[in-house]
Amino acid sequence: AQSVTQLDSQVPVFEEAPVELRCNYSSSVSVYLFWYVQYPNQGLQLLLKYLSGSTLVKGINGFEAEFNKSQTSFHLRKPSVHISDTAEYFCAVTSGANNLFFGTGTRLTVIP
C-alpha cells in the first residue's frame, strides 16, 4: 500500500510571496502523484499530476510540483501567491489501482 505525509498542516504566507507545500510519499512500487485544491465547502479540484516523464510538472493557477524519486517527495510550489490561493491542498498517491491515498491536507492562508 501507499501512504502520503503532508508535514505542514497550516502554512501562512504573505501575498505575492513564494510558497512551498511539502509532500512525501511511501510506496514499494511505482506511483502516480497528484495535488488537489479544496476551497471551503467545495469538492476537490485537480491542480496537477505526475504520471511519467519530466519530473517538473506544471498545473493550473500557476502551481508546479517536482517529483523527486530519491527523496520520495512531490512538493508543490508557486512563485507568487494571491489571496485567491487561500484553500486546503491535498497531496495524493496511487499505484494505478482503484484507491487513491490522500495526505491530511495543508491549509494555505494568504495574508494581505
Partner 1 sequence: SQTIHQWPATLVQPVGSPLSLECTVEGTSNPNLYWYRQAAGRGLQLLFYSVGIGQISSEVPQNLSASRPQDRQFILSSKKLLLSDSGFYLCAWNPREGTAKYFGPGTRLTVT
Residue with smaller CB distance to partner 1, 41 or 112: 41
The answer to whether 35 contacts partner 1 (rule: CB under 8 A) is: no
CB 74 within 8 A of CB 89: no
The answer to whether 32 contacts partner 1 (rule: CB under 8 A) is: yes
Task: Map residues 77-106 to x or -, x wherever contact with partner 1 holds by CB under 8 A.
Answer: -------------x---x-x-xxx-xxxx-
Stretch that binds partner 1, among 21-29, 44-52, 62-70, 71-79 (CB under 8 A): 44-52
Residue 26 backbone dihedrals phi, psi, to 5 degrees: -135, 130
Q: Could you report how far apart the first and last alpha carbons of the chain are, in Å?
A: 41
One of 46, 56, 60, 111 touching partner 1 (CB under 8 A): 46
One of 20, 27, 49, 66 touching partner 1 (CB under 8 A): 49
C-alpha distance from residue 72 to each of 5, 31, 55, 106, 112 (Å): 10, 10, 12, 18, 33
The answer to whether 11 contacts partner 1 (rule: CB under 8 A) is: no
Which cell numbers hold the place of 90?
491535498
Residue with smaller CB distance to partner 1, 15 or 59: 59
CB 92 within 8 A of CB 45: no
